[in-house]
Amino acid sequence: MKKALIITDVQNDFCPGGALAVAGGDEIIASINALSQKFDRVVATQDWHPAGHVSFAGRHGRRPYERIRIASGEQELWPDHCVQGTAGADFHRDLDLRAVSLIIRKGIHPGIDSYSTFLENDRKTETGLHYYLRGLGIESLCFCGLATDYCVHYSALDALRMGFKVAVLLSACRGVDVPAGNIDRALADMQARGIRLIEGTADPVLP
Ligand code: VGL
Ligand code: ZN
């Protein structure tokens, strides 16, 4: 069975010192780099927002981490992050991109956020990633990267809905954990739905 590694949002803004820093976000890079050779394809994703994006608290005169209702539903508000073309949106410099054949950029529309790297939060706008993977005959996906409880969680769920076998490599992920307990809730949800949660990355037994 052909399998792909999906490296999620290992960008400066999600690493220590970044605008939306995830604790230990940079600690996972070495294990991600070591994983790439074990897959038929490696895809990297990038959160890639226009300035003034709908997920930015400042645009609504609110504070980061509040929640509001917008056209597409409930929206968490974040500090400005991963603005297109800025250093914060760049991949972390230590991430080895040599094996990456495709980079998917998501959250590119001013009025729609996107946690999933398949379907944006309006649940209609496609990134096109599943056509690529399907077209290559890939059936099994492994997720790693940032953040466990947002982009990894939502992407893994969509992958499952689209009929892929799905695993999440926990030691190669870190989460935001906002609100508190969010990582544990995300893990329980993924497990309950049949997503394989894998602890070590040394020699993962993939689905
Ligand atoms: C993400 C919050 C806002 C993520 C992206 O990559 O998990 N989280 N934008
Ligand atoms: Zn974002």
Instruction: Confirm or reject: Cβ of 47 under 6 Å from ligand 1.
Output: yes
- Tally the domains of the chain: 1
Instruction: Give the closest ligand to the alpha carbon of residue 107.
Output: 2
Range of the domain at 20: 2-48+83-198
Has residue 133 been placed in a domain? yes
Has residue 87 been placed in a domain? yes
Instruction: Confirm or reject: Cβ of 158 under 6 Å from ligand 1.
Output: no
Has residue 104 been placed in a domain? yes
For residue 71, what pLDDT is reported?
A: 87
Residue 177 token pair: 């954990």
Q: Provide the CATH number for the domain around residue 44.
A: 3.40.50.850
Helix (H, G, I), strand (E, B) or coil at 201: coil
Instruction: Confirm or reject: Cβ of 9 under 6 Å from ligand 1.
Output: yes
**Which three-class secondary structure string do you get for the chain?**
CEEEEEEECCEHHHCCCCCCCCCCCCCCHHHHHHHHHHCCEEEEEEECECCCCCCEHHHHCCCCCCEEEECCEEEECECCCCECCCHHHCECCCCCCCCEEEEEEECCCCCCCCCCCCECCCCCCECCHHHHHHHCCEEEEEEEEECHHHHHHHHHHHHHHCCCEEEEEEEEEECCCCCCCHHHHHHHHHHHCCCEEECCCCCCCCC
Instruction: Confirm or reject: Cβ of 150 under 6 Å from ligand 1.
Output: yes
Has residue 67 been placed in a domain? no
Catalytic residues: 9, 106, 151
Has residue 55 been placed in a domain? no
Residue pair 177/151 in contact by the 8 Å Cβ criterion: no
Q: Which residues pair with 104 in a beta bridge?
A: 45
Has residue 168 been placed in a domain? yes
Instruction: Give the closest ligand to the alpha carbon of residue 83.
Output: 2
User: Which is the closest atom of ligand 1 to the Cα of 11?
Assistant: 6
For residue 205, what pLDDT is reported?
A: 56
Q: Which residues pair with 168 in a beta bridge?
A: 143, 197
Summarize pLDDT for 17-53 with one digit per residue, the tens. 999 999 999 999 999 999 999 999 999 999 999 999 9
Has residue 42 been placed in a domain? yes
Summarize pLDDT for 144-187 with one digit per residue, the tens. 999 999 999 999 999 999 999 999 999 999 999 999 999 999 99
Has residue 22 been placed in a domain? yes
**pTM recorded for the entire structure:** 0.96
Q: Which stretch of 112-116, 128-132, 199-203 has the lowest confidence by average pLDDT?
A: 199-203
Distance from residue 146's CA to the centre of ligand 1 (Å)? 7
Q: How confident is the model at residue 87 (pLDDT cuts 50, 70, 90)?
A: very high
